[in-house]
């Protein structure tokens, strides 16, 4: 029953994703917005590995998103105009930062874990903000564009065609999400859920909580780096706001709004958040209040998220 | 050179006093209720703007007295209506709620008072330097330091020598036992929240006179306040105070000698402290989380 339903849900999600550039205009969007949904969805899902599955409250995940974005952008701007290398560089930077920061905070719990993740993120924000000669400072890093992708004899023009870039991003999304699903199905993934459910019992069983938490943090940061790299390529631009704590908060609200106890919940949350943000910010100057209101309403009335509301249980 | 160092240290102490005032309020709420109040910066800015609007009618001194009280009253209301339903739930939710609230505060302040920063002046007599040598020493700055010291002293008095303070300290240790002893912890948390917000409002009025008013003025203060708490050690208010002053001085000195690092230096200090002493300067033994 559950396997069947998961299969049906998966089928529906992939069908929707594969056709998104075609139906997005019908709800007032455009191809770039569809790509944004996929990229932010990947970020929210990556965060959810930590938030929903491991039960660790990271409120600073924009750090790794932004580092992925800057890693990719600076590679193209200063080193080589190669899309794969740019993404790899972004991922590597995010993973390294995740490993270092993770090691310093895995012994903290709850609000203190959250506070530490936020504070660490600020370091990178201020570096990006102040070191203008390299990062472009507050104005962001411009003067570069993503390069077409050459696959042997074939060339995929992800620079000229938004649609081509969408499917490129979707392919990487699939790879990232697939890896996550696989990780969650392994004994390691099950252990993360066990830690979330009852840390003390897991510890008594002889599991190293800190090591599992750290690994989960690093994997999550790595995927976040991929999302950030794609985000930079999508916009051909990156600025310090990708690193800021409000961005972190937005990822958390996406995960919570969609349902952090379900695999696809954060993607749904990202879809709603990105579309609403796009619509609202083009209609009113007070979009910040609307977003703030979304936060409050979700917390007070839909704490289990939309998928939680439908009574779905996490596949774990 | 000496003058420059003094300049940096003194500026740092002032900024540090703001960090500390804010961080202590945050700490109070965090320790008793387990809530990270992201909207703290918004309350601070609200205090400043209220003083700005009140000052023409009731004067600077009246505003200094009244504005933090109004801010605290709004804080009591927010706690009662929005934060209270979240106690006992995953801390994630109160964090998200106050995060959203911070957005609304910022947007609201901008809508009411405009996006441009507005000047707010304490009495002119207080603004002139006391000596040409130490040009950065104005009466207002000394007054600010004194007032922060009084506020912090007053708070420690309340916590250490009054019934309310005793209950707050007891509740921080063990809320359940306190509740079974007949103390209404809902009222206690409410008052405690208001107390924290009062300090934010006071910091807002003082900061307005020093830094000017803008809707985002709280933003620059809230992160360093988190760092103050982490550096000082979780659970220790004295530690928070010390942490705030310390990172304030560090950033004040950096502003003089290495301006581009004036923000980052705070976080570098945090990393250094965390590596050398994971529980923070005065954090309790064995309480890393």
How confident is the prediction along chain A (316 residues), in pLDDT tens digits per residue? 477 888 888 999 999 999 999 999 988 889 999 999 999 999 999 999 999 999 898 999 999 999 999 999 999 999 988 899 999 999 999 999 999 999 988 888 878 888 889 888 888 998 898 888 889 888 899 888 888 887 777 778 888 888 999 999 999 999 999 999 999 999 999 999 999 988 889 889 888 889 999 999 999 999 999 999 999 999 999 999 999 988 999 999 999 999 998 999 999 999 999 999 998 888 888 888 998 999 899 999 988 888 877 654 444 4
Pick left, alpha or beta for residue A238 (phi over 0 → left; psi -120 to 50 → alpha; otherwise beta).
beta
Q: Is residue A42 part of a domain?
A: yes
Q: Domain range spanning residue A177? A: 33-243
Return d(Cα B208, Cα B122) in angstroms, integer. 9
Element (H, E) at A88: helix A83-105
Radius of gyration of chain B (CA): 19
Distance from CA of A289 to the nearest CA of B (A): 4
Chain B residue numbers touching A296 (CB-CB < 8 A)? 82, 97, 100-101, 104
Nearest residue to B39 via CA among B20, B49, B52, B26: B26
Q: Which of A110, A273, A299 to mutate to test the interface with B (most CBs of B within 10 A)?
A: A299
Its ipTM equals 0.86
Return d(Cα A74, Cα A142) in angstroms, integer. 10
- B95 vs A114, A296, A298: nearest CB: A114
**What structural domains and CATH numbers belong to chain B?**
2-114+137-276 (1.10.3470)
Return d(Cα A177, Cα A191) in angstroms, integer. 19
- Is A130 an interface residue toward B (CB < 8 Å)? yes
- Is A134 an interface residue toward B (CB < 8 Å)? no
Q: Is residue A82 part of a domain?
A: yes
Q: Is residue A216 part of a domain?
A: yes
Q: Is residue A17 part of a domain?
A: no
| Span B108-165, pLDDT tens digits | 999 999 888 888 877 777 777 777 666 777 788 888 889 999 999 999 999 999 999 9
Q: Is residue A125 part of a domain?
A: yes
Contacts of B8 (CB under 8 A, 6+ apart): B249, B252, B253, B254, B255, B256, B257
Does the distance separating the beta carbons of B278 and A286 come in below 8 Å? Answer: no
What is the number of domains present in chain A? Answer: 1
Chain B residue numbers touching A113 (CB-CB < 8 A)? 289
- Is A167 an interface residue toward B (CB < 8 Å)? no
Does the distance separating the beta carbons of B278 and A292 come in below 8 Å? Answer: no
Distance from CA of B34 to the nearest CA of A (A): 7
Over residues B49-74, the mean pLDDT reads: 93
Return d(Cα A291, Cα B28) in angstroms, integer. 28
B265, two tokens? 């230096």
- Is A245 an interface residue toward B (CB < 8 Å)? yes
Helix boundaries (H) for chain B: 2-33, 40-78, 91-113, 139-161, 163-173, 175-180, 185-211, 219-232, 237-257, 264-276
| Span A80-112, pLDDT tens digits | 888 999 999 999 999 999 999 999 888 888 788
Chain B residue numbers touching A294 (CB-CB < 8 A)? 100
Element (H, E) at B79: none
A119, two tokens? 């504070």
* Alpha carbon distances (Å) from B53 to B45, B49, B75: 12, 6, 19
Contacts of B280 (CB under 8 A, 6+ apart): B230, B231, B232, B233, B234, B236, B239, B243, B273, B274
A45 and A271 Cβ atoms separated by less than 8 Å? no
Q: Which of A240, A294, A296, A301 to mutate to test the interface with B (most CBs of B within 10 A)?
A: A296
Q: Residues of B82-101 as b/e, b for ≥16 C-beta within 10 angstroms? A: bbeebbeeebbbbbbbbbbb
Closest residue of chain B to A110, computed from CA coordinates: B91
Does the distance separating the beta carbons of B100 and A294 come in below 8 Å? Answer: yes
Chain B residue numbers touching A120 (CB-CB < 8 A)? 267, 270-271
Contacts of B238 (CB under 8 A, 6+ apart): B232, B282
Distance from CA of B288 to the nearest CA of A (A): 6
Does the distance separating the beta carbons of A299 and B93 come in below 8 Å? Answer: yes
Return d(Cα B171, Cα B178) in angstroms, integer. 6
Contacts of A187 (CB under 8 A, 6+ apart): none
Q: Is residue A11 part of a domain?
A: no
Residues 26-85 of A with CB under 8 A from B: 51, 57, 59
B248 and B4 Cβ atoms separated by less than 8 Å? no
Q: Is residue A270 part of a domain?
A: no
Chain B residue numbers touching A253 (CB-CB < 8 A)? 96, 99-100
Q: Is residue A280 part of a domain?
A: no
Return d(Cα A86, Cα A90) in angstroms, integer. 6
Burial-class residue B239 by CB neighbours within 10 Å (0-12, 13-18, 19+).
buried
Chain A residue numbers touching B230 (CB-CB < 8 A)? 115-116, 119
Does the distance separating the beta carbons of A110 and B91 come in below 8 Å? Answer: yes
Residue B33 three-state SS: helix
């Amino acid at each position: 029953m559950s396997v069947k339903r998961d299969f049906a849900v998966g089928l529906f999600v992939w069908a929707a994703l594969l056709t998104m550039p075609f139906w997005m205009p019908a709800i007032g969007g455009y191809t770039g917005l569809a790509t944004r949904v996929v990229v932010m969805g990947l970020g929210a899902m990556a965060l959810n590995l930590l938030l929903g599955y491991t039960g660790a409250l990271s409120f600073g995940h924009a750090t790794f998103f932004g580092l992925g974005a800057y890693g990719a952008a600076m590679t193209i701007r200063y080193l080589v105009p190669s899309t794969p290398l740019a993404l790899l560089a972004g991922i590597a930077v995010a993973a390294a930062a995740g490993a270092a920061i993770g090691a310093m905070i895995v012994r903290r719990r709850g609000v203190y874990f959250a506070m530490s993740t936020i504070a660490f993120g600020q370091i990178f924000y201020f570096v990006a903000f102040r070191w203008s000669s390299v990062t472009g400072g507050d104005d962001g890093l411009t003067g570069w564009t993503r390069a077409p992708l050459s696959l042997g004899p074939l060339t995929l023009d992800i620079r000229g065609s938004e649609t081509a870039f969408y499917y490129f991003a979707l392919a990487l999304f699939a790879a990232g999400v697939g890896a996550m699903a696989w990780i969650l199905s392994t004994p390691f993934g099950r252990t993360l859920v066990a830690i979330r459910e009852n840390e003390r019992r897991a510890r008594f069983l002889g599991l190293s909580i800190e090591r599992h938490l750290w690994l989960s943090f690093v994997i999550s940061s790595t995927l976040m780096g991929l999302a950030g790299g794609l985000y930079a390529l999508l916009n051909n631009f990156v600025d310090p706001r990708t690193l800021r704590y409000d961005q972190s908060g937005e990822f958390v609200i996406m995960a919570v709004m969609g349902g952090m106890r379900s695999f696809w919940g954060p993607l749904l949350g990202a879809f709603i958040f990105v579309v609403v943000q796009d619509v609202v910010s083009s209609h009113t100057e007070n979009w910040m209040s609307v977003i703030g209101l979304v936060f409050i309403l979700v917390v007070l009335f839909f704490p289990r998220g939309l998928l939680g509301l439908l009574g779905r249980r996490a596949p774990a | 050179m000496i003058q420059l160092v003094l300049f940096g240290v003194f500026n740092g102490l002032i900024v540090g006093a703001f960090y500390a005032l804010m961080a202590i309020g945050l700490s109070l709420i965090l320790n008793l209720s387990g809530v990270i109040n992201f909207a703290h910066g918004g309350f601070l800015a609200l205090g400043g703007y209220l003083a700005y609007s009140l000052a023409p009618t009731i004067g600077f001194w009246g505003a200094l007295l009244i504005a933090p009280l109004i801010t605290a009253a709004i804080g009591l209301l927010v706690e009662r209506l929005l934060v209270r339903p979240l106690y006992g739930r995953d801390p994630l939710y109160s964090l998200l709620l106050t995060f959203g609230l911070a957005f609304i505060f910022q947007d609201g302040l901008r809508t009411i008072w405009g996006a441009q920063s507005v000047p707010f002046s304490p009495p002119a007599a207080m603004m002139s330097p006391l000596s040409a040598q130490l040009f950065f020493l104005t009466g207002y700055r000394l007054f600010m330091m004194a007032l922060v010291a009084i506020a912090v002293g007053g708070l420690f008095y309340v916590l250490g020598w009054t019934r309310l303070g005793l209950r707050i300290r007891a509740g921080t240790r063990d809320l359940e036992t306190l509740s079974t002893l007949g103390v209404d912890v809902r009222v206690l948390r409410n008052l405690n929240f208001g107390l924290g917000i009062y300090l934010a409002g006071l910091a807002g009025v003082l900061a307005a006179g020093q830094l000017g008013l803008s809707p985002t003025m709280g933003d620059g203060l809230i992160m360093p306040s988190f760092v103050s708490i982490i550096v000082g050690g979780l659970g220790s208010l004295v530690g928070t105070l010390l942490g705030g002053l310390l990172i304030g001085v560090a950033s004040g000195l950096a502003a003089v000698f290495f301006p581009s690092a004036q923000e980052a230096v705070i976080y570098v200090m945090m990393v250094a402290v965390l590596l050398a002493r994971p529980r923070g300067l005065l954090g309790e033994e064995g309480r890393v989380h």
